[in-house]
Amino acid sequence: MNELTVSVSPHLRSGRTTQKIMLDVLIALSPALIASVVIFGWRCLLLTGVSAAMCVLCEFVWEKLMKQPVTVSDLSAVVTGVLLAFNVPSTMPVWELLVGDVVAIICVKMLFGGIGCNFVNPALVGRVVMFFSFTADMTNFPAPAGTIDALSSATPLALIRAGSIGWSEFGQIFIGVHGGVLGETCAAALILGGVYLCARRVIKPIIPLAYVGSCVLFSWIFGSFQPVIAAFSGGLLLGAIFMATDYVTSPTTNLGKLIFGLGCGLLTAMMRTFASSAGAVTFSILLMNLVVPYINDLTAPKPFGGVETK
Amino acid sequence: MNLRKLHGVHVPHRKNTADMAPVRMPVPATVTIPMSMHIGAPAAPAVKAGDSVKVGQLIANAGGFVSSPVYASVSGKVKKIDDMLMSTGRSMKAVTVESDGEQTPFEGLRPPEVADLKSFLDAVRDSGVVGLGGAGFPTAVKLSVKDLSQIEAVIINGAECEPYVTSDTRTMLDDADWIAKGIGLLQKYLKAKRVIIGIEANKPQCVKAMEDMAKTMTGVEVMALPPVYPQGGEKVLIYHTTGRIVPEGKLPIDAGAVVINCTTLAAIAKYIETGMPLVEKVVTVDGSAVREPKNVIAPIGASMQSLFDFCGGFKADPKKVLYGGPMMGIAVPNTEFPVMKNTNAILALAEKDAILPEPTACIRCGSCVDACPLNLMPAAIEAAYNKRNVDKLRALHANLCMECGCCSFVCPAKRMLVQTNKLAKGLIAADNAAKKAEAERKAKEAGEKEKKEAVAK
């Protein structure tokens, strides 16, 4: 008789793993990557690849130095790297992007205990650091390659604020042929990725819908110009679909997710209307990340048949 | 009817044996019958080594109110009464009977005289029947309802939501008459006004069989329930059939419900009509290591190995062997463990199904919260347990957990959430015991102090 394994039930597990979830996120990001290469050229691929590699390297080296088990195969560092690259213009010097990678992985992720322990989104903090350190390079938006039909290299948000574009340019905004950071411009590709993630049940659509919906609503209430078109431009879709839905830094319950999405939408609308449009999405999500523990506490599910003892 | 459904998970069904009518296995050379095949006090042996016994003869008396008598499942000689290791890790007395291969029924078997509620409950107790769906709770205790008017609905559990297991399916298909007779008894003696048979909708053949049966009766309805695991969990089934919620620490009757498994009910009806107590079980034998999966009629006490042998042995090396289904079943260290009263299936899993996944860090995806039918937060319970924070565990209602396994099933990080919750329950129990002991010690000290003062005065 050979040895039998004795373990606690259940003896059947689903096929879902952290790695498969992260792979699905990468698949969902790929249309936007392809779009960025088409719009801004091959340098996008270089930036994305280098950024992902740097994030993986940072995690690997840190874990080796700290004598921790190496977890790079869960692909979460790759996701962070790709998202960071998506947040910079295609003209960004590589070394500056690498600084963002180090900040994201070492300072935000690993110093707080690695995957599952960071209290804010690593990619967004990396972006903020790059934004303030290299403001000129971070806001130097290149014109799309082969700019025959493209809008000028100013971002649509800036143009909307200036009142110089409207619905006639919506088509170009939707397919992303305009200035911006490399992953944010093509709304069509981002929405495609979002639908894929929802279909694969990696994320629920609550946060993206609440975020974008409330952002449009509040922008309209605040009297912002062209709130609907604005929703498809800037980093809103990238943020709402891929950043705000990060498991670790978003609430657990559906009600919590709704509150989180609405909060992000309100903050973004306020910043876009009353302050600078640059970084509105980033700061909104980061601020809401900070209150997630409180939202989780307030929206904890009520146990079925639970009786309070005190 | 309630509109909201409880959470749960979609598990693969793997009901490979659903169409296989049970086949009787040859009488094993020996059977080893444990004295505790139920929740409650172990039964007390009433025979000694060397005694001759026949099928259906009493070999152990119930050891208390919450207990159940045990009957010989083969005819032959009592070989020994000694301790055996149970799957729980505790050791337990067991009666080993050497079979003479004759299967002579005991001459003293008579159908019990049932005339009123008391004699009905006595008969249920004497039948040796316990919760055959797996729980093993003595059925007579369950049916001992103080105030019959509390019973709003009797729910017959035919959900059978565990993968692989089809023994209840076979009861509904092959023993509908016995179920009907059982329902008749419940209607007569428990004054059950409303009888609901709850079946997962993925067993249309069972739904049809039960509907055909219900047509010939009054006050019996069949509900086809969504096939979401754990539909057969008592609290889940009550909620999905009646919309009533069983409060924490209370029993189904507090929600106006009595839940009884369909096979349990059929076994009671059989005893009351024929006088033959519970001595054999239909056991689903399946799993990726079993050559010919079957539903086997096995005498209680037959070793798992004898059932596997009857099913053509193994086609692959078994790496894990279970009592029950894969979601809540208990893994055993060898195949010498016996079929018990509450054994509805035994599974032998080949290596690919027995590999233990390596747990990785929680990514706080919330899948466990979404999956928990009782709305618990398994990941939070795990975190509180890791800090040994008993108050937090109480606040999270860790004791509500029914260990259905949904959380561990869905977890992408493969964390052992059910195992941790079991440990959390243990921690709460230990803390309760410590607090109680402390309170008793203080009371005692206060008493002694008073005595001393009185003496001093």
pLDDT at residue A49 in the model: 97
Question: Residue B147: is it exposed, middle or buried by C-beta count within 10 angstroms (0-12/13-18/19+)?
Answer: exposed
pLDDT tens track for A102-132: 999 999 999 999 999 999 999 999 999 999 9
Specify the higher pLDDT residue, A173 or B305: B305
Would you say residue A276 has pLDDT above 50?
A: yes
Q: Within an 8 Å CB–CB cutoff, is residue A21 touching chain B?
A: yes
A229 CA: distance to closest CA in chain B (Å): 32
DSSP string, B193-259: S-EEEEEETT-HHHHHHHHHHHHTSSSEEEEEE---BTTTSHHHHHHHHH---PPTT--GGGGTEEE
DSSP string, B323-337: ES-TTT-EEESSTTP
Residue B170 placed within a domain: yes
Chain CA centroid to CA B438, Å: 35
Residue B131 placed within a domain: yes
> Last residue of some domain: B224, B251, B274?
B274
DSSP state of B42: P
pLDDT at residue A149 in the model: 46
User: How many residues does the structure list for chain A?
Assistant: 310
Residue B177 placed within a domain: yes
Beta-bridge mates of residue B9: B229
- Chain A residue with minimum CA distance to B319: A4
Of B218, B197, B192, the C-alpha closest to B208 is B197
Contact call for B332 and A301, based on CB within 8 A: no
Q: Within an 8 Å CB–CB cutoff, is residue A71 touching chain B?
A: yes
Chain CA centroid to CA B190, Å: 22
Q: pLDDT confidence of A64, banded at 50, 70, 90?
A: very high
Stretch 72-101 of chain A: residues touching chain B, C-beta under 8 Å: 74, 76
B98 CA: distance to closest CA in chain A (Å): 24
Give ipTM to 2 decimals.
0.90
Would you say residue A179 has pLDDT above 90?
A: no
Residue B378 placed within a domain: yes
Degrees to nearest 5, angle at CA A55 with A49 and A61: 130
Compute the average pLDDT of residues A36-53.
94
pLDDT at residue A150 in the model: 47
Q: pLDDT confidence of A3, banded at 50, 70, 90?
A: confident
Whether residue B310 contacts residue B287, with contact meaning beta carbons closer than 8 Å, is answered with no
pLDDT tens track for B294-317: 999 999 999 999 999 999 999 999
Q: pLDDT confidence of B229, banded at 50, 70, 90?
A: very high
Residue B12 placed within a domain: no
pLDDT tens track for B398-428: 999 999 999 999 999 999 999 999 999 999 9
Contact call for A303 and B422, based on CB within 8 A: no
- CB atoms < 10 A from the CB of B30, how many? 19
Same domain assignment for residues B133 and B241:
yes
Q: How many domains does chain B have?
A: 2
Same domain assignment for residues B259 and B392:
no
Whether residue B139 contacts residue B130, with contact meaning beta carbons closer than 8 Å, is answered with yes
Same domain assignment for residues B126 and B244:
yes
- Chain B residue with minimum CA distance to A307: B248
Contact call for A305 and B405, based on CB within 8 A: no
Whether residue B171 contacts residue B18, with contact meaning beta carbons closer than 8 Å, is answered with no
Q: Give the tokens for residue A4.
A: 């039998």
Residues from chain A contacting residue B416 (CB–CB below 8 Å): 8
SS3 B9: strand
pLDDT tens track for B195-218: 999 999 999 999 999 999 999 999
Stretch 393-422 of chain B: residues touching chain A, C-beta under 8 Å: 394, 396-397, 400, 403, 405, 408-414, 416, 418-419, 422
Contact call for A305 and B245, based on CB within 8 A: yes
pLDDT at residue A146 in the model: 55
CA gap B120, A112 in Å, rounded: 64
> Last residue of some domain: B253, B274, B295?
B274
Contact call for A306 and B400, based on CB within 8 A: yes
For domain A18-298, give the CATH number.
1.10.3430
SS3 A149: coil
pLDDT tens track for A195-223: 999 999 999 999 999 999 999 999 999 98
pLDDT at residue A148 in the model: 44
| Buried residues in A74-101 as b, exposed as e (16+ CB within 10 A) | bbbbbbbbbbbbbbbbbebeeeebbbbb
pLDDT tens track for A257-268: 999 999 999 999
Whether residue B404 contacts residue A5, with contact meaning beta carbons closer than 8 Å, is answered with no
pLDDT at residue A284 in the model: 96
A with B: how many residue pairs have Cβ under 8 Å apart?
153
pLDDT at residue B1 in the model: 46
CA gap B308, B286 in Å, rounded: 9
Closest CB to B375 among A2, A115, A303: A303
Q: Within an 8 Å CB–CB cutoff, is residue A119 touching chain B?
A: no
Q: pLDDT confidence of B135, banded at 50, 70, 90?
A: confident
Residues from chain B contacting residue A298 (CB–CB below 8 Å): none
Same domain assignment for residues B244 and B384:
no
- Chain A residue with minimum CA distance to B368: A252
Whether residue B196 contacts residue B237, with contact meaning beta carbons closer than 8 Å, is answered with no
Compute the average pLDDT of residues B23-36.
95
Same domain assignment for residues B122 and B263:
yes
Contact call for B369 and A252, based on CB within 8 A: yes
- CB atoms < 10 A from the CB of B137, how many? 19
Residue B101 placed within a domain: no
Q: Is B403 left (phi over 0), alpha (psi -120 to 50) or beta?
A: left
- CA distance from start to end of chain B: 69
Same domain assignment for residues B269 and B393:
no
Residues from chain A contacting residue B409 (CB–CB below 8 Å): 10, 12-14
CA gap A245, B117 in Å, rounded: 59
- CB atoms < 10 A from the CB of A31, how many? 17
> Last residue of some domain: B240, B274, B308?
B274
Q: pLDDT confidence of A154, banded at 50, 70, 90?
A: low
Residue B26 placed within a domain: no
pTM recorded for the entire structure:
0.92
CATH number where B143 lies: 3.40.50.11540
Contact call for B326 and A10, based on CB within 8 A: yes
SS3 B283: strand
Would you say residue B110 has pLDDT above 70?
A: yes
Would you say residue B114 has pLDDT above 80?
A: yes
pLDDT at residue B140 in the model: 94
Parallel/antiparallel/unpaired status of strands B294-299 and B23-24: parallel
Q: pLDDT confidence of A308, banded at 50, 70, 90?
A: low
Q: pLDDT confidence of A140, banded at 50, 70, 90?
A: confident
- Domain extent at residue B410: 360-457
Beta-bridge mates of residue B30: B98
Same domain assignment for residues B250 and B125:
yes
Q: Within an 8 Å CB–CB cutoff, is residue B362 touching chain A?
A: yes
pLDDT at residue A2 in the model: 67
Same domain assignment for residues B133 and B234:
yes
Same domain assignment for residues B373 and B260:
no
CA gap B175, A218 in Å, rounded: 64
Q: Within an 8 Å CB–CB cutoff, is residue B378 touching chain A?
A: no
Residues from chain B contacting residue A8 (CB–CB below 8 Å): 331, 416, 418-419, 422
Q: Within an 8 Å CB–CB cutoff, is residue A168 touching chain B?
A: no
Q: Which H/E stretch holds residue B306?
A: helix B304-310
pLDDT at residue A180 in the model: 84
Contact call for B374 and A305, based on CB within 8 A: yes
Would you say residue B3 has pLDDT above 70?
A: no
Angle between helices A94-102 and A122-133 (to 10 degrees): 130
Would you say residue A1 has pLDDT above 70?
A: no
Compute the average pLDDT of residues B217-232.
93
Residue B132 placed within a domain: yes
What mean pLDDT is reported for chain B?
94
User: How many residues does the structure list for chain B?
Assistant: 457
pLDDT at residue B30 in the model: 95
Same domain assignment for residues B267 and B364:
no
Compute the average pLDDT of residues B129-150.
91
pLDDT at residue A174 in the model: 87
Contact call for A9 and B418, based on CB within 8 A: yes
B320 CA: distance to closest CA in chain A (Å): 5
Would you say residue A242 has pLDDT above 90?
A: yes
pLDDT at residue A96 in the model: 96
Q: pLDDT confidence of A310, banded at 50, 70, 90?
A: very low
